[in-house]
Amino acid sequence: MRKILLLLAAAFLINACATVKEAKNFANCKYTVRSVEVSDYNINSITFDIYLLITNLNKKTEAAIKKFEGKLMINDTYVADINFDNVRIGAGATKTQKAVVTIPMKSLSTKMVGLVSMGSASVDYHITGTAYFETPLGDVPIPVDIGRRGSNN
């Protein structure tokens, strides 16, 4: 009975270490906003496809994220929430993560709507948020700031 408990405890600790290592790897990934594309627009809203390029810099261990909760900023103005779940990136690999964001026209200024709809290069966008990693000891939050002005570029 004692050996079984010892084996179970060892298995738990090995699993916990692997999960914490994956979470740490994700926090050390390189994040880039690859593109923000207008996929649909009408008189009431604009829908964007936001493509995040995430590179796992660790060559030996997979990186994993349970969820990401963030805010999309355009020209330093909050415009929408951005969320995605369950991302796994192989060791040394790069993954493109797509997020779809719909923004009501009434929440955008007239100047911003014109710049975005014309695809102007003068639109400055970035995403600020928190990545959550699942571990046996609970979720671990890591702050992330990505985009043209992001600190993790």
CATH number at residue 32: 2.60.40.1820
Q: Is residue 140 part of a domain?
A: yes
Evaluate if pTM is beyond 0.75. no
Residue 153 lies in a domain: no
pLDDT of residue 36: 78
| Amino acid 96: pLDDT | 92
Question: In whole angstroms, what is the distance from residue 55 CA to residue 93 CA?
Answer: 6
Distance, CA of 34 to CA of 51 (rounded, Å) = 5
The verdict on residue 23 lying in a domain is yes
Cα 130 to Cα 152: distance, rounded to the nearest angstrom: 13
Nearest to 137, CA basis, from 27, 26, 17 = 17
* Residues above pLDDT 70, as percent of the chain: 65
The stretches of the chain forming alpha helices (DSSP H) are 2-27, 110-117
For 75-95, what is each residue's pLDDT tens digit? 777 888 988 888 888 888 999
Give a yes or no: residue 67 inside a domain. Answer: yes
Name the token pair of 51: 């493509």
Buried b (16+ CB within 10 A) or exposed e, 93-115: eeeebebebebeeeebeeebeeb
Work out the number of other CB atoms within 10 angstroms of the CB of residue 25.
21
| pLDDT at residue 19 in the model | 56
**Which tokens go with 6?**
């010892």
List the single range of 113-117, 121-125, 143-147 with lowest mean pLDDT: 113-117
Lowest mean pLDDT, pick from 14-18, 61-65, 121-125, 127-131 = 14-18
Is the residue at 152 inside a domain?
no
For position 110, what pLDDT does the model report? Answer: 58
Amino acid 77: pLDDT: 78
- What burial class does residue 56 get, using C-beta atoms within 10 Å of its C-beta: 0-12 exposed, 13-18 middle, 19+ buried? buried
Count the domains in the chain. 1
**Domain range enclosing 59:** 2-147
